[in-house]
Amino acid sequence: MATFRSTRFRGRRWRETLSFYLFVGPWILGFVVLGLFPLVLGFLTSFTNYNGFNLGHLVFVGLLNYAHAFTSIEISHALGRTVIFTVVNVPLGIVIGVLLAVILNQAIPARGVFRTLFYLPTVIPIVATVWIWELFLDANYGLVNAVISMVAPNILIKWLVDYPTWVLIALTLWTSVGSGMIIFLAGLQGVPNELKEAAKIDGAGTWQVFQSVTLPLLTPVIFFELILGIIGSLQVLVAPLLLAGATLSSIPPPQNYFYLVEVYEQVFAHQNFGYGTALLWLLFVVIIVFSMLVFRSARYWVYYEVDQEGAR
């Protein structure tokens, strides 16, 4: 009898295990084929001279591609411009997102309409977004210059030529602030009203309540947005390419020649796949370093209602 129960139990466990792997099998297959395999292949490619057509003459070059990246003037310029863009774009996005969230968290008329309008640019395709901005900022027929000409008729500003980085920052904020606003709104909904009321009873004003109660409780959300903003800004590519011309083959001006633009040029224009994948792995390291610095700094400014394990 005990042997029969043991056999029946093993049969049921085997069926449960088989059902589990049948359910997760498609995901595992997709991860291996579309994720892990390309990742490993790209890493190995970065140590070769592969250009897409020389499989018969593939040569292992070791760290030559990485050494070339460290000595390249183009890479230094592109990485520097990318870091500058990130340092300016990310804090502005967080500040504007928090400001909009605080305003739209109040009991104001048509609050839902304003939330929708601010979020709407985030769902517009990037190609349509750039096209809209080019129409607004056209030097001869753009709406912005038309408004300026009403005040100063002799001024004609070439926005896309003279101020390409600021145009890109404005475009990026326009397309990303809405999603940040929604996340900050969710964070504000989690701030207990009892704490605000207690601070007001103690004599705190509106700004003091925000500074001492709301903002500290919002720091985990700010931390989350900071990480996402850094990762996204370091990988900016399509917007500067499209702002430079009608096609993805257009070269951005030096002010908007970012790191991934150089990678794009090396891979698709010059077919330097080995060198291009090496640049991508270096970017991965840069993102990891920036993320680790933010995580290390979080203990000094991110407030959690529940103490985090290992925090000092």
Domain ranges for the chain, please list them.
66-301
The residues near 278 (Cβ < 8 Å, ≥ 6 apart) are 46, 47, 65, 66, 68, 69
pLDDT at 2 over 70: no
Alpha-carbon span 189 to 66, nearest angstrom: 47
CA contacts within 13 A on the Cβ side of 259: 27
The predicted-structure confidence for 169-216, as pLDDT tens digits, reads as follows 999 999 999 999 999 999 998 888 888 888 888 888 888 888 888 899
Q: Which amino acid is residue 37, in one-letter code? A: F
pLDDT value at residue 142: 83
The predicted-structure confidence for 97-136, as pLDDT tens digits, reads as follows 999 999 998 888 888 898 999 999 999 999 899 998 988 8
pLDDT value at residue 190: 85
Residue 221 binned pLDDT confidence (cut-offs 50, 70, 90): very high
Alpha-carbon span 42 to 219, nearest angstrom: 37
pLDDT at 312 over 50: no
Q: What is the token pair recorded at 24?
A: 């997760």
pLDDT value at residue 180: 92
Check: CATH 3.40.50.1240 for 66-301?
no
290: left (phi over 0), alpha (psi -120 to 50) or beta: alpha
Output the CA torsion 44→46→47→48 (10° steps).
100
pLDDT value at residue 22: 87
Helix locations, 138-237, DSSP H: 143-151, 159-162, 164-189, 193-201, 206-209, 215-234
Q: Would you say 209 and 200 are in contact if contact means Cβ atoms under 8 Å apart?
A: yes
Alpha-carbon span 245 to 164, nearest angstrom: 12
Can you state the angle between helices 73-104 and 164-189, rounded to 10 degrees? 40
pLDDT value at residue 174: 94
Residue 11 binned pLDDT confidence (cut-offs 50, 70, 90): low
Provide the percentage of residues in the chain whose pLDDT is more than 70. 93
Alpha-carbon span 165 to 203, nearest angstrom: 45
The predicted-structure confidence for 61-76, as pLDDT tens digits, reads as follows 889 999 999 999 999 9
The reported pTM is 0.85
* Average pLDDT of the residues in 139-168: 86
pLDDT value at residue 82: 95
Alpha-carbon span 89 to 168, nearest angstrom: 9
